[in-house]
Amino acid sequence: MLSFLGAILLGSALLVLPFSSKSGESVDYIDALFTAVSATCVTGLVTLPTVATWSVFGQIVILILIQIGGLGVITITAGFMVAIHRKMGLKDSQLLSDALNVSTLSGLAEFVKKMLLGTFIIEGVGALMYMIVFIPDFGAKGIWISIFNSVSAFCNAGIDIVAENSLCNYATNPLVNIVTCLLIILGGLGYVVWWDIIRVLKDVKRTKFRCVFKLTLHSKIVLVSTFALILIGGISILACEYNNPLTLKNYNFFDKMQIAFFQSITTRTAGFATLPQENLTNASSIICLILMFIGGSPVGTAGGIKTVTIVVLFATTIATVRGKNEVTLFQRNLSKQVTRKAVAVAFSSFIIVALSTILLSLSTDAPALDVVFETVSATATVGLSRNLTSSLNVWGKLIISATMYFGRVGPISLATSFNLKKENINIIKNPTEDVRLG
């Protein structure tokens, strides 16, 4: 929590400097702070248009904050320690293990090394692919735009310097759509899944198609849920917007497909837009709210309550309805600790959304759907808005800034940071009594 807060405060101090803006005049500190929070928390909500407001220096600061936010301050610090061959102690390893949400302390240094190397390779390839489109359109400036967009997409930040309307001008460009979607998905899958896929692919010659069954339970849940959410979300949005004259009606079927599936993928905490969100039907907006709240997968750059959490909750519900004592997924039983944590994560995120929605409603007279869309987007660090962010007053900006921060550091991290006492297993326990539910 403190590392993210420190990055935010340093970033806001740099962004408020006169040479950080294109006009050469300092922006209001509240806007600099909001931008720093949005970049560090890889959200993408902005009160000022990025491309029109910030100078190259300001954009570099924002990009560094996005990279720090995507990888995590602790992870980057550990990367430097590995680079200078400094050995991590037990305390450092435990802190890094908690930050990465992994359950083992062994091989952390190697994990961080591969994680950073993989990140920079994917971002570099993404930038090169973007250059095919952006250099012809923007000249030499297209190189910087490509690098910025690639890092932002992989980190699921959603901040871009292409245009004030995000990627709407490239809504029907297959290359921009494919590259952006792949970067979002790779960042959102999580690093643990990367290495697991690589591990089984090395053995593909011997096991052939059976290598899929060699994946860990975590990877299976992530891959299946990611594919299902993209498919269901894309088809649902396509159906809801097919004849909407403000969105898809005037496009051919192929373009409708790629725009709808881009919307399904970007709502998974990426925040790029090829459609004005305020033009979506109410049905599509609700679908997007669900996708935003779920978000990406653990140990990645995405936000939300995570795919694994929602799958565990769903499996727990099914097991309870069927009267089973064990929660089972892919012929594996889940521990009670995992199911309890899933409930805690989901409920904590719901509380953040509820409180921020009530507070934001007090500071603006915007329609309820716009307010909920804004707060869910901030909590899940998505960055999509129904054109409300730019019209927020000072209180509204502070509320959304706090929501983005708490949404990024994670409800569980927030709760455990204040939980200074550990349960004493030797104390006399309270008697057990049943209550009525439902």
Q: What is the reported pLDDT for 424?
A: 58
How is residue 275 written in tokens? 């459609």
Q: What is the reported pLDDT for 76?
A: 65
Cα 265 from Cα 261, distance rounded (Å):
6
Q: Which DSSP letter does residue 155 get?
A: T
The pLDDT-based confidence of 262 (bands split at 50, 70, 90) is very high
Q: Is 21 helix (H, G, I), strand (E, B) or coil?
A: strand
Cα 274 from Cα 255, distance rounded (Å):
11
Q: Can you say how many angstroms the Cα of residue 345 is from the centroid of all Cα atoms in its chain?
A: 15
Contacts (Cβ under 8 Å, ≥6 apart) of 283: 240
Cα 41 from Cα 303, distance rounded (Å):
9
Q: Which DSSP letter does residue 211 get?
A: G
The pLDDT-based confidence of 87 (bands split at 50, 70, 90) is low
203 touches 212 (CB < 8 A): no
Cα 319 from Cα 279, distance rounded (Å):
40
325 touches 333 (CB < 8 A): no
Cα 244 from Cα 438, distance rounded (Å):
39
Instruction: For the beta carbon of residue 318, count every other beta carbon within 10 angstroms.
Output: 13
Q: Is 221 helix (H, G, I), strand (E, B) or coil?
A: helix
Q: What is the DSSP string of 71-138?
A: H-HHHHHHHHHHHTTPPP-HHHHHHHHHHHT-S--TTHHHHHHHHHHHHHHHHHHHHHHHHHHHHHHH
Query: CA angle 162-168-172, nearest 5°?
Result: 110
On average, the pLDDT of the chain sits at 87
How many residues does this entry show for the chain?
Answer: 438
Q: What is the reported pLDDT for 420?
A: 47
Amino acid at 436: R
Structural domain spans, the chain = 2-413
Backbone angles phi, psi at 21, to 5 degrees: -105, 155
Q: What is the reported pLDDT for 75?
A: 66
Mean pLDDT across 359-368 = 94
Query: How do residues 130-151 score in pLDDT, each as one tens digit?
Result: 999 999 999 999 999 999 999 9
Cα 167 from Cα 274, distance rounded (Å):
5
Q: What is the reported pLDDT for 10?
A: 95
Tell whether the model's pLDDT for residue 163 goes beyond 60: yes
CA torsion angle 312 313 316 318 (round to 10): -110
The DSSP H or E segment spanning 332 is strand 332-334
Contacts (Cβ under 8 Å, ≥6 apart) of 381: 41, 42, 43, 44, 156, 269, 295, 302, 303, 304, 404, 407, 408
How is residue 124 written in tokens? 């570099």
pTM of the model: 0.88
Instruction: For the beta carbon of residue 102, count every other beta carbon within 10 angstroms.
Output: 17
Q: Which DSSP letter does residue 54 get?
A: B
127 touches 146 (CB < 8 A): yes
How is residue 314 written in tokens? 């769903």
Q: Is 327 helix (H, G, I), strand (E, B) or coil?
A: strand
Q: Is 328 helix (H, G, I), strand (E, B) or coil?
A: strand
Contacts (Cβ under 8 Å, ≥6 apart) of 437: none
Query: How do residues 26-46 score in pLDDT, each as one tens digit?
Result: 999 999 999 999 999 989 899
Backbone angles phi, psi at 356, to 5 degrees: -65, -35
* Helix%, strand%, coil% for the chain, nearest 5: 65, 0, 30
Query: How do residues 319-339 score in pLDDT, each as one tens digit?
Result: 999 988 888 988 889 988 888
